[in-house]
């Protein structure tokens, strides 16, 4: 399921502002804050052609703890354990190794957060395992990241990451994976000096793999939200460089949110390697490879509305290539049963140019947060 979350840097800046600083190490731990979640997830996928139907059910428990600040310092810890309850076919939950044909031995516990941060006037630095949420860098990284807010209306993020992994409550856990031999560097700048507008240039470099640069701008004018985003790569492992452009318009009418967008990629290599470390553009559940592929033109439209205690959503996406078209319809429903207990249900129907690759997915997530 798609997730919306606050980046670790933003969370650290906010919590440092809100929490009174402790005067001793003992107080820093005693005044710390713990949180977590317990969830049950199940999915069923009906596949066309010779591909067998798949599905699994699982449980997940996540715990997080962060100390209060002491002389500007704060420590954070987070871990998640996932357990497979059932699966239709071997490997539906863990996956199959393409080289050996055997079920992958995935971990049952992952430490996703283990870091020390320091915040002072205009600067926050986080060292260690942490969550990162930038345009093309997501999930959990072993990294050194600094956020500089000394420039008015501007946040400058400088970072170096060595390894990363995804840690989700709706899939098997992963091992930390190296980012090449030398890791990756990133600089991300967000300027908010214009009313209702964010201008976001960035540059990232994964040595001997690729480098990328981009510019994203978002603004709101008369209840209309506009997004324009362009990025390009310099490839070290592919024959040619890639590029991607994204445009979106959205509005809210009588509590109904409407949006439509267009994504286009380079004719020869598509978006290239830019999505290797994560992305925030793909709106779909299953069409990411098609959207970022060569010569892809993607159109999508979405609608969502709150009906009593339930939020309903629908998304329709088509991806046109030179000789084929892929599409997806996604329907979602989210209900806040109590302040702590939530239910999410999803239905996705994928239609590929090769009908043997068509699929229908139904999933359910029940989450208790504390």
**Among 41, 5, 93, residue whose Cα is nearest residue 366:** 41
Q: Residue 350: which of 333, 329, 332 has the closest Cα?
A: 329
Under-50 pLDDT residues of the chain: 1-6, 16-19
pLDDT of residue 357: 87
CA 53 to chain centre: 27
pLDDT the model gives residue 204: 98
Given this model, what pLDDT does residue 50 score?
87
The helix/strand/coil state of 51 is coil
- pLDDT tens digits, residue range 286-338? 999 999 999 999 999 999 999 988 999 999 999 999 889 999 999 999 999 99
Specify the pLDDT at position 4.
40
CATH code linked to domain 209-370? 2.40.160.10
The pLDDT score that the predictor gives to residue 98 is: 86
What is the pTM assigned to this prediction?
A: 0.89
Tokens of 31: 């005044």
- Domain limits, the chain: 1-39+57-193, 209-370
Q: Are 266 and 294 in contact (CB under 8 A)?
A: yes
- With DSSP H G I counted as helix, E B as strand and the rest as coil, what are the percentages for the chain, rounded to 5? 10, 60, 35
> How do residues 74-109 score in pLDDT, each as one tens digit?
999 999 999 999 999 999 999 998 889 899 999 999
């Amino acid at each position: 399921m798609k997730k919306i979350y606050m980046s670790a840097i933003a969370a650290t800046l906010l919590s440092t502002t809100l929490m009174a600083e402790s005067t001793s190490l003992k107080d820093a731990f005693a005044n710390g804050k713990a949180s977590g979640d317990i969830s049950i997830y199940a999915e069923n996928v009906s596949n066309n052609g010779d591909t067998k139907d798949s599905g699994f059910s699982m449980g997940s428990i996540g715990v997080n703890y962060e100390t209060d600040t002491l002389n500007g310092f704060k420590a954070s810890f987070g871990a998640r354990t996932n357990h497979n309850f059932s699966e239709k076919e071997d490997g539906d939950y863990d996956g199959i190794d393409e080289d050996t044909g055997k079920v992958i031995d995935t971990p049952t516990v992952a430490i996703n957060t283990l870091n020390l941060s320091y915040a002072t006037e205009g600067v926050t630095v986080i060292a260690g395992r942490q969550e990162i949420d930038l345009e093309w860098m997501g999930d959990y990284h072993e990294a050194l990241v600094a956020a500089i807010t000394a420039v008015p209306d501007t946040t400058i993020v400088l970072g170096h990451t060595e390894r990363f992994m995804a840690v989700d409550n709706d899939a098997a856990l992963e091992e930390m994976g190296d980012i090449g031999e030398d890791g990756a560097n990133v600089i991300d700048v967000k300027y908010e000096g214009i009313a209702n507008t964010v201008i976001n240039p960035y540059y990232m470099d994964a040595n001997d793999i690729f480098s990328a640069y981009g510019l994203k701008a978002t603004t709101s004018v008369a209840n209309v939200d506009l997004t324009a985003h362009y990025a390009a790569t310099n490839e070290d492992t592919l024959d040619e460089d890639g590029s991607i452009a994204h445009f979106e318009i959205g509005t809210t009418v009588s509590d109904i949110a409407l949006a439509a967008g267009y994504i286009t990629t380079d004719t020869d290599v598509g978006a290239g390697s830019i999505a290797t470390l994560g992305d925030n553009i793909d709106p779909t559940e299953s069409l990411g490879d098609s959207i970022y592929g060569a010569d892809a033109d993607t159109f999508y439209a979405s609608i969502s509305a709150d009906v009593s205690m339930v939020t309903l959503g629908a998304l329709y996406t088509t991806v046109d290539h030179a000789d084929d078209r892929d599409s997806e319809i996604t329907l979602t429903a989210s209900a806040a049963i109590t302040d702590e207990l939530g239910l999410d249900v999803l239905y996705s129907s994928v239609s590929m140019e090769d009908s043997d690759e068509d699929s229908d997915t139904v999933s359910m997530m029940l989450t208790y947060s504390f």
